[in-house]
Structure 1
Amino acid sequence: MHDRYSTVRGRQLGVRLRELMEEHHWGVREMARRLDWPPTRISNMFNARRGSKYIDVVKMLTLMGVVGEEADEIYALCEDMDKFGLVESPLDRRRRRLRTLENFEAEASSIFAFQANLIPGFMQTERYCRAQMETAVNLQGDLEGYVNRRMKRRDVLDQSRIKFDIFVHEFVLRLDFGGADLMAEQLYHLLRLAVRPNITIRIVPASAGSHAAVAGSFKLLEFEEADPVVYIDTEAVNLFLEDPEEIAMYRNVCRGLTAQALNEADSKQFITDLVAECYPGTDEDLPLQF
């Protein structure tokens, strides 16, 4: 059995401390020297091993001059460190919300995702992403900044060690975000991704009727040296679930989707046929081998 990490809160605390040190251009050894600590003490905090102390976090933030709202956010993570789950609200800095998900995606050994309304974020083309964000009524800040951030998230797909099992409802493929050319480009992009050996894309057809994930979109992230996390994105909050009973419930959903969705080959053909049906005249002359 692996040496269990702490909860999501503890892991996020480690990420935030590492980010702050990077802003100061301090490595583990430099921070350890300034605090007269053994380097392993800081490494354990980064890795969210159990035993991190509130007073240690206070000393690190004081040394780095972190005060005010930013310090309060970090101290809040120290509270109830053994409590399962994390809820991030719109009042949190948007960048922090994105970084939590990005870090978990980068650390995962496998990602099982179901999308009921949108192409998964890390599989979106730039035009699709921009069109989708332009319709987001609660989006605040620099639109191009959000688009660039999401495009950067696509880098995780280049990590061949991560196994991706992506399930998308047929409705997602038919929901037009900006015309035939844009949608055809997006669907062809999915087909290009689907030929990678570590990426499986499967379609849940409308003909399947009610299915295992009718409650909505989610991601189940598995890790080599940490316990699994379920991520749910809503308009109001981002949820990170990790209670073993909650994880078991979503694994049941994954098994149900696996049984109900089209297989890989049929899913690729389904996407190809749908392009011809819904977005004719948009042939990209793409050589596809199924």
Structure 2
Amino acid sequence: MLEPKEAQAARVLGGLNRPPLNLLISTRNSDMPKRFSTARGREFGEGMRAAITNSGLNAREVADLLSWQEAKVSDVLTGKGGVSRLEVALLLGLCRAKADERDHLLELFPERDLSGWWQLHGKCAPVRPRTALTHLAAAETLISWHTHAVPVLLRTAEYERAVLTASATVSVDELDERLRVLQEMQKLLSNGLDCTFYIHELALDLQIGTPEEHIGQLQHLVLMANWKKIRILVVPAAAGAHAGIAGPFTQLKFPKYEPLVWTETENSSLFVETKEAVGGYADVIRALDEVSLDEDESRDLIVRRCVRLQEAGDADGAVQRDSDEPFPSL
């Protein structure tokens, strides 16, 4: 006699062959249109899923131990509501979540549906920017602009070490760990992420590190510009005032939810999510695109800077611009 479909499904979900809970949820939503979601809500959901996974329990076991319906556990993870802060605390206690993670998730819970997230970090940015890493991993498109330096995701280890060493707030003891996190972030560029980086020409001239490290950074930019899904566009100094003067930012777009913009200061991060504000940054991107060099012109400009530094062999690494050298045409 054939087993009823309902019983068969229940047996599979409750047994050893049950897929991970996050796989079930992602499969369920794979064909859904973009839905309302916030950075806070996504981080809360990911944290709760991780807590259950790390406990070694599955959703049915958690539900049984808490005397809940299994659907209620799913509602907690997908942010549908229907649970209290106390119930979330009970779930985290059951999963034996670490104290700092428990406190973080309980703090997020009441505000998980709020758009926009200003994160205050204290003296300096955290070694591991959790929210940024999570959203970089989930993004399908990245557009980044930096006013005076090479964007973080395009920096060599030597360049970043020099930047961190010059910081007034970053501890020297954290340098190696911060560099490891940078490498982790940069690996996401090879996961099919479609990237456009706008860099001001003056960032190419600014020597960060030794002259050799400066040249190495320019060579790295040329190498990255040859990647299939990476575009590097230079905003020439001849453009003068431009729409990006207000400061650096990164726009991220996702396959399942609305885009956001990520900006950083010395000791805080801002994740902009409201439609009007994100649209304003989209206007800035369009304006930057109008004044920047195209991909070939940008690559040629970087190569010329690199060759000139190599030929000069100047001990102080200073970059001298030939007075009669024109900028590439816009």
TM-score (structure 1 length as normaliser): 0.86
How many residues are paired up?
A: 280
Q: Is the 8 A contact 1:180 1:279 kept in 2?
A: no
Matched, 1:114 2:160: no
The C-alpha deviation readout for 1:138-191, integer Å capped at 9, x for no partner, is 11352111111111111111012x210111111211111112211111111111
Provide the rounded CA distance (Å) in 1 between the counterparts of 2:95 and 2:302.
52
Aligned to 1:88: 119
Displacement of 1:30 in angstroms is 5.6
Provide the rounded CA distance (Å) in 2 between the counterparts of 1:53 and 1:196.
47
Map 1:120-199 → 2, pairs under 5 A: 120-140=151-171, 141-160=173-192, 162-199=193-230
Give the gaps of 5 or more residues in structure 2: 1-31, 314-330
Rate the CA distance shift 1:262–1:64 in 2: closer, same or farther, 3 A: same
Give the gaps of 5 or more residues in structure 1: 283-290
Q: Is the 8 A contact 1:88 1:97 kept in 2?
A: no
Q: Is the 8 A contact 1:4 1:49 kept in 2?
A: no
Larger C-alpha radius of gyration, 1 or 2? Answer: 2
Cα RMSD of the aligned pairs, angstroms, is 2.6
Aligned to 2:81: 51
Q: What code does the residue aligned with 2:230 have? A: I
SS at the partner of 1:114? strand
Q: Is the 8 A contact 1:5 1:11 kept in 2?
A: no
Displacement of 1:17 in angstroms is 2.3
Displacement of 1:96 in angstroms is 7.9
Matched, 1:10 2:41: yes
Provide the rounded CA distance (Å) in 2 between the counterparts of 1:17 and 1:96.
22
Matched, 1:207 2:250: no
Aligned to 2:23: none
Q: Is the 8 A contact 1:200 1:264 kept in 2?
A: yes
Displacement of 1:6 in angstroms is 2.1
Provide the rounded CA distance (Å) in 2 between the counterparts of 1:229 and 1:6.
11
Matched, 1:239 2:237: no
Identity of aligned residues (%): 27
Higher relative contact order (CA 8 A, sep 6+): 1
SS at the partner of 1:132? helix
Displacement of 1:15 in angstroms is 2.6
Q: Is the 8 A contact 1:194 1:201 kept in 2?
A: yes
Map 1:245-260 → 2, pairs under 5 A: 245-260=276-291
Displacement of 1:34 in angstroms is 4.5
Provide the rounded CA distance (Å) in 2 between the counterparts of 1:97 and 1:178.
23
Q: Is the 8 A contact 1:86 1:239 kept in 2?
A: yes
Provide the rounded CA distance (Å) in 1 between the counterparts of 2:82 and 2:200.
42
Matched, 1:229 2:260: yes
Provide the rounded CA distance (Å) in 2 between the counterparts of 1:102 and 1:150.
10
Rate the CA distance shift 1:39–1:279 in 2: closer, same or farther, 3 A: farther
Q: Is the 8 A contact 1:109 1:163 kept in 2?
A: yes
Rate the CA distance shift 1:229–1:45 in 2: closer, same or farther, 3 A: farther
The C-alpha deviation readout for 1:188-228, integer Å capped at 9, x for no partner, is 11111111121111001111111111100000100010111
Provide the rounded CA distance (Å) in 2 between the counterparts of 1:279 and 1:31.
63
SS at the partner of 1:245? helix
SS at the partner of 2:129? helix
Displacement of 1:127 in angstroms is 1.2
SS at the partner of 2:111? coil
Provide the rounded CA distance (Å) in 2 between the counterparts of 1:34 and 1:75.
20
Rate the CA distance shift 1:129–1:23 in 2: closer, same or farther, 3 A: farther
